[in-house]
Amino acid sequence: MPHVIPPTVTRDDEFFWQGVAEDRLLLARCARCSNLQHPPSPMCPVCGSLEWTVQEASGRGTVHSWIVSRHPSLTDDGPRIVALVELEEGVRLVSNVQDVDPAQVKNDMDVEVVFREIDGVKLPQFRPVGAG
């Protein structure tokens, strides 16, 4: 897998990265209207509230869309599967799908979160349900 650039943690997403450090997938929930949002931002896009709570996600979802990415200059690195995963909670996030041959990936494939350290950075990744 290509080298990972560590995330720039901000006040708005610090809870998310703290959750990743603890092997937990956390989402922002508006304290006023209960809208779940990812990525987090200071203002709820539904009601405009600035008050948030945090909800732990199940970690299960489906592949909504995906591509196979190959690094143009690091030819020894294998392909990686970049996917838009729709979580059971209804929000979508971009991540990688691992532990599966790229030819086997398909839309609506059931996946589950796994936390892996890549180049010294702990990241939420996904794998097919039952692959572990």
What is the pTM for the complete model shown? 0.91
Please say whether the beta carbons of 126 and 112 come within 8 A.
yes
Predicted pLDDT at 109: 98
Predicted pLDDT at 1: 46
Q: Which of 49, 48, 56 lies closest to 28, judged by CA?
A: 56
Residue range(s) of every CATH 2.40.50 domain in the chain: 58-132
DSSP 90: S
Predicted pLDDT at 4: 82
Q: Which two tokens stand for residue 125?
A: 């990744």
Kindly report the backbone phi and psi dihedral angles of residue 98, in degrees, each rounded to the nearest multiple of 5, phi listed first: -120, 175
Give the residues across from 85 on adjacent strands: 63, 93
Predicted pLDDT at 75: 67
Residue 2 CA from chain centroid, whole number = 17
Predicted pLDDT at 130: 85
Residue labelled with tokens 């708005």? 12
Please say whether the beta carbons of 100 and 80 come within 8 A.
no
Please say whether the beta carbons of 132 and 99 come within 8 A.
yes
Predicted pLDDT at 131: 79
Predicted pLDDT at 100: 96
- CATH code 2.40.50 for 58-132: yes
Predicted pLDDT at 28: 97
- Residues lower than pLDDT 50 in the chain: 1-2
